[in-house]
Amino acid sequence: MTAESAPSRHVVLDGAVNVRDVGGYRSAYRLEVMRGRLFRGDSLSQLTASDVARLDTLGLRTVIDFRTPGEVLLTGTDRLPCGVEFASLPVSGGDLGWVYELTASGDHERQRDELGDGRAASFMVGIYRGFVTDARQREAFGATFGLICSPGRLPLLYHCSGGRDRAGWMTAIVLTALGVPREVVLRDYLLSNDFHRTGYAKLRFDLVKTGIVADPELLRPILEQSPTYLGAAFEEADRRFGSFGRFLTYGLEVSEAMLTELRRGLLGEMVPPAPVR
């Protein structure tokens, strides 16, 4: 699946490139995840007035920001339509500030030492495992899950800086809880590469042109999503909790009542009691 093959999910904005509808995927309940109910995105701090008006047409009731205070200080607060309820639920693991500082340093040898020979990819795998192992990060994802399940909160949009890692794992959690097959969850996750491709290619070119970076390939594992990253989070959930279902119950403190509300809110009222196998 590419960005071009799923245009109806993409919310086209001038100030954000990776805002998407989570709906449209078929679940194990043989029902399609409803469109227009749940959205994922990148930073909303650079939205134009027309972007804000576009978001207003979505009827959003809730926006959740996974960015840390440092990220918000650096890039700005969200620009949102009037009346949208906002929640800040920082997830520190997705804050790549040290990578940006390393890049900006222009120290080519240090960049190779810290990002070369697979170290950048290993760092990203560690971030995704931390989404599961770190109690504070689990708390933020669990609180987001709870808000999605709460009456009157939908349509809801959650976002981070790039809409890739934190928003990607949150989407994987929700879609998996709804019974969407793992291979479909992975395809949705990898769509971020399509939406960011042009911008990141230009970034790598500009960094080399200005001499800040000598080898742009060092940054590829940081800028591009890999199945290995998402797989690491799922593997860690299984390893720590025994199964994804137990991760929901004991890791994110998701109750059966919450799952029922999630299915009603995103699949509709006529959901059978268990997924159709």
pLDDT by 10s per residue, the chain, length 277: 443 344 469 999 999 999 999 999 999 888 999 999 999 999 999 999 999 999 999 999 999 999 999 999 999 999 999 999 999 999 998 777 788 888 888 889 998 998 999 999 999 999 999 999 999 999 999 999 999 999 999 999 999 999 999 999 999 999 999 999 999 999 999 999 999 988 888 888 888 888 988 888 899 999 999 999 999 999 999 999 999 999 999 999 999 999 999 999 999 976 666 664 4
- Counted domains in the chain: 1
User: Are 60 and 157 contacting, i.e. CB atoms less than 8 angstroms apart?
Assistant: yes
Count of residues making up the chain: 277
Q: Which two tokens stand for residue 151?
A: 């009456």
**What range does the domain containing 157 cover?**
3-94+108-266
Q: Quick one: pLDDT at residue 30?
A: 85
Q: What pTM was computed for the model?
A: 0.92
The whole-angstrom distance between residue 77's C-alpha and the CA centroid of its chain comes to: 18
> The domain spanning residue 120 has which CATH number?
3.90.190.10
Closest CA to 80 of 54, 105, 98, 100: 54
Tell me if 274 is assigned to some domain. Answer: no
Please state, in angstroms and as integers, the Cα–Cα distance from residue 277 to each residue in 55, 171, 249, following that order: 37, 22, 21
Say if 233 falls within a structural domain. yes
Tell me if 137 is assigned to some domain.
Answer: yes
CA atoms within 13 A on the CB side of 39: 28
Task: Indicate whether 102 belongs to any domain.
Answer: no
99 is a domain residue: no
The verdict on residue 181 lying in a domain is: yes
Residue 195 lies in a domain: yes
Q: Based on C-alpha coordinates, what's the Rg of the chain?
A: 19
Tokens of 225: 């999503």
Residue 271 lies in a domain: no
